[in-house]
Chains A and B, each alone.
Chain A
Amino acid sequence: MPKQHTFKVVLLGESAVGKSSLVTRFVRDQFDPYKESTIGAAFLMKVVPIDNENSANLHIWDTAGQERYKSLAPMYYRNAAAAIVVYDITQAASFERAKSWVKELQRQAEPGIVIALAGNKTDLSDRRTVEYAQSFGLLFFETSAKTGDQISGLFTELAKKIPIAAEPAQLQGQSGVNLAQGGNAAGGAGDCAC
């Protein structure tokens, strides 16, 4: 029985690039072409083997991509061991957005965070507008949630890259309950984006 390590993974990226579809394909091996926009964030778990002795229990936060949720992102990427920044290879703007997410993560997330860049929708490569991206030294995959192409590769490689020491000391019961930590105060007045 391999030793199981729990890691928090967050998905970020422009809306409609396929974050939820990517996760759904990975966790449930399902695909819904008419998926509705995520509200807030969804939480899913899946265990992936790392090597003979270890496996990773990925606690995945699939966030909503709309601009209005941007200020909530720190709440989801805080204490994350890894992040997957997703863009749509047919939407150049989503790639620009992905780059700014990567910068934000490098600046504000946990210093050792492992970042993967995923160009999704390779099934639409005839409408490609983003060329095979430079990976900026990040883990890089081009994926298709629709066909399943490279999805498990992405998550497995990501899990292997996370240093085992990145596992939080008290596991999930405490994915950060310190109120003082987040950028803006919890339930802050005037923060309402509903």
Chain B
Amino acid sequence: MRTAAVKNEEDDEQLELAAIDADKLEGLCIGTPIYTRYGDEAQLAPLMSTIQAVIASFADMSDPIRSMTMGGHTIVFYTSGPLYLMAVASVDEPAQQLRSELAALTKIFEQRSNFDLRQLLGGTEPVIDQLVDRMATSFAFSLGSLDTFLLAARPKGLLYAMLVADLKLVTLMRPRKHSLHPSDLMLLFNMAANRAFLTGEHWTPVCLPRFNDQGFLHVYVNYVTPNAALLLVSADRDSFPAMSGCCEAIVADLSSDGSLQRLEDAAVTACIASHKALVQNFGSCFDDSVPERDQMRIMSTYKRTEAAYDAVLAWQSSKFELYATVSPTMDVRMMIRMVNNVLEWIRNEEDHLFIVNPPSY
């Protein structure tokens, strides 16, 4: 997905993302731009009124507008209560994917409708920007499952304890009966990736909408290494000292940093496997040799493949989804043989690649 402001006509491989807070109470279509991925939302007012006019004219027909195609651009609308979200993409990304990305965003925006969301969002723009950027390049969001790392430690903690490295779940400890939904974890990881957390210990309330959209949990965030953060989630807002002590014990426990095994087959440019039951992904990272532009293209192809089209090898079964991109010169038999090898390797290494049995209590 390419993104940016509509104003930027020259760079047409970009997308604009905007949310409007329409004041439904007064029945007026005068909306307030709340957030835009590119540019300053305050300067987008004229555009916003156009968007509202478009949405409103379709709403009258009791068949709300979902998406439209204009030249090379796809424009997707998503309305959630008083919030209107719009995404404009010029890469041929399926409308369905864009909608699901917008739907994920509303989870942040939709909490309260009758006051100025911008005030609530103050200071969180970097977090939302990050979230949007990540949706464009991460498999996790499009597959609705989590990237994993290798299993490392068995910490003791309160509600949930997790070690997150580079946005990937290293290990998770949870109560037997309550697992956290991937979308909540992604919000948590995305927040924890904020630079503000890099030094020191942090204690902040968060709302995990899939867990409970009416209340807070409290999260202890501490970057135990420059790339790995320990997140401890507690229901008790006064448990900071306990969390801090717990973190200290865990860090002492993690004496050696486990070496990471990566799936790196020279011929496989990129491969991603998603374990359906465990809602976890394992994949090779894009090699640095693959330019960002190609990464975007491959992501977009994967997303379309998910909606069942052609191109790259996609394999969906009841247990897993596997997407692989190979060099275009390779013949089909060779490709299948290689993918079979990869699959077998993944099956053999399942215990290592995925977090199959997270410690619970």
Contact = CB atoms under 8 A, between A and B. Distances in A.
Nearest to B122: A66
Contacts of A188: 215-216
Interface stretch (A39-47, A118-126, A146-154): A39-47
Given A187-B235, A194-B108, A194-B206, A44 B191 contact: no
Interface string A14-42: 01000010001001100000011111111
B182 interface: no
B204 A41 contact: yes
A139 B237 CA distance: 30
B123 A66 contact: yes
Interface in B182-205: 191, 194-197, 199-205
B238 A186 contact: yes
Interface in B225-250: 235-241, 244-245
A43 B240 CA distance: 10
Interface in A155-194: 172-179, 182, 186-194
Question: Which size class do A's interface residues fall under?
Answer: 35 or more
Contact of A36 (B194, B201, B237): B194
A65 B292 CA distance: 37
Given A37-B123, A40-B205, A42-B201, A173 B241 contact: yes
Contacts of B235: 186-187
B124 interface: yes
Nearest to A75: B237
B216 A191 contact: yes
Contacts of B199: 24, 28, 42
Contact of B215 (A176, A178, A192): A192
Given A36-B126, A42-B202, A175-B241, A187 B216 contact: yes
A158 to B, nearest CB: 19
Contacts of B203: 40-43
Contact of B201 (A38, A43, A64, A191): A43
B161 to A, nearest CB: 18
Contact of B213 (A39, A68, A192): A192
A68 B108 CA distance: 14
A25 B306 CA distance: 50
Residue among B111, B124, B199 with most chain A CB within 10 A: B199
Contacts of B124: 37, 39
Contacts of B194: 36, 39
B236 A186 contact: yes
B202 to A, nearest CB: 5
Contacts of A36: 126, 194-196
B259 interface: no
Residue among A27, A39, A191 with most chain B CB within 10 A: A39
B290 interface: no
A41 B202 contact: yes
B214 interface: yes
Given A28-B199, A36-B194, A40-B202, A194 B207 contact: yes
A53 interface: no
B120 interface: yes
B122 A191 contact: no
B123 A172 contact: no
A39 B196 contact: yes
Interface string B246-259: 00000000000000
Given A191-B216, A192-B215, A194-B207, A39 B191 contact: yes
A36 B199 CA distance: 12
A186 B237 contact: yes
A67 interface: yes
B43 interface: no
A190 B214 CA distance: 5
A28 to B, nearest CB: 7
A35 B126 CA distance: 11
Contacts of A192: 111, 207, 213-216
B215 to A, nearest CB: 5
Contacts of A39: 123-124, 127, 191, 194, 196-197, 202, 204
A72 interface: yes
B279 to A, nearest CB: 22
Interface string B11-39: 00000000000000000000000000000
Nearest to A172: B241
Contacts of B219: 40
Given A39-B123, A179-B238, 19 more contacts: A15-B122, A15-B123, A24-B199, A36-B126, A38-B123, A39-B204, A42-B196, A42-B203, A43-B202, A64-B123, A66-B123, A175-B238, A177-B236, A177-B241, A187-B218, A189-B215, A191-B216, A194-B205, A194-B207
Interface of B: 108, 111, 119-120, 122-124, 126-127, 191, 194-197, 199-207, 213-219, 235-241, 244-245
7 contacts: A43-B240, A44-B200, A72-B205, A174-B241, A186-B237, A192-B214, A193-B120
